[in-house]
Amino acid sequence: MTTRPRHPTLLSLLLPALLALLCGRPAQAQQVAGLQQRMSASEFKAAGLDKLSPQELANLDRWLAGHGKVVTRVVSTSGKPVFYTDESKRRPINAHIVGHFGGWSGHNLVTLDNGQQWQQIGSDQPYCGASDNPVAKIKPSLFGNWLMYVNGCNDSVHVRRQR
């Protein structure tokens, strides 16, 4: 088993600059502002970074520069909100419809007591008895779709979350 030296060698410190020169790019173009420049003095101290040696801080800055920022999308390519970015976290939702529900008409917008709004997609119009604040259950379906079941209706409808 090989062990790594605790302190970086001179070659490991100069390697990024050498690679930049060999690739035809100046070393300054590769560098990003270090943590000490990007953080306030109080943030720097609160993170305990003031305890690092200049060499350790330089190594950390180099590591951070080599690992790009992660960007999480919260809208789809069409600009619509994405409420469930991790498909494995789609779970059934149990709630009540707020107010009077008179059945499906093809494009209903339903508000639930948990604040969510769901839009009926498609033109399905199963038979439903009218009721106030009926129980609604929304379940994940295939291909990222959702089905809503409402107490008093004889079938489900496809829905899409709006809010």
Structural domain span for residue 111: 87-161
Name the nearest CA neighbour of 148 among 102, 100, 99, 108.
108
pLDDT-derived band at 28 (thresholds 50, 70, 90) equals very low
Res 35: pLDDT: 78
**Helix, strand, coil % over all residues of the chain, rounded to 5:** 30, 25, 45
Backbone angles phi, psi at 6, to 5 degrees: -65, -35
Cite the DSSP H helix spans in the chain. 10-22, 27-30, 35-38, 41-46, 54-66
More confident site: 48 or 24: 48
Sign of torsion, CA 8 9 14 16?
negative
- pLDDT tens per residue, range 77-131: 777 766 655 555 778 999 999 999 998 888 889 999 999 999 998 777 888 888 9
Cα 26 from Cα 13, distance rounded (Å): 16
Rg (CA), the chain: 28
Q: Is residue 54 part of a domain?
A: yes
Q: Is residue 26 part of a domain?
A: yes
Neighbouring residues of 5: CB distance < 8 A, sequence distance ≥ 6: none
Our count of domains for the chain comes to 2
Residues 93 and 131 in one domain: yes
Residues 55 and 96 in one domain: no
pLDDT-derived band at 20 (thresholds 50, 70, 90) equals low
Q: Is residue 76 part of a domain?
A: no
Q: Is residue 152 part of a domain?
A: yes
What tokens were used for 143? 């291909």
Q: Is residue 2 part of a domain?
A: no
65 within 8 A of 31, measured Cβ to Cβ: yes
Res 115: pLDDT: 92
Residues 62 and 109 in one domain: no
Res 74: pLDDT: 62
Residues 96 and 58 in one domain: no
Residues 54 and 113 in one domain: no
Res 113: pLDDT: 94
Compute the mean pLDDT over every residue in the chain, rounded to the nearest whole number. 78
Q: Is residue 78 part of a domain?
A: no
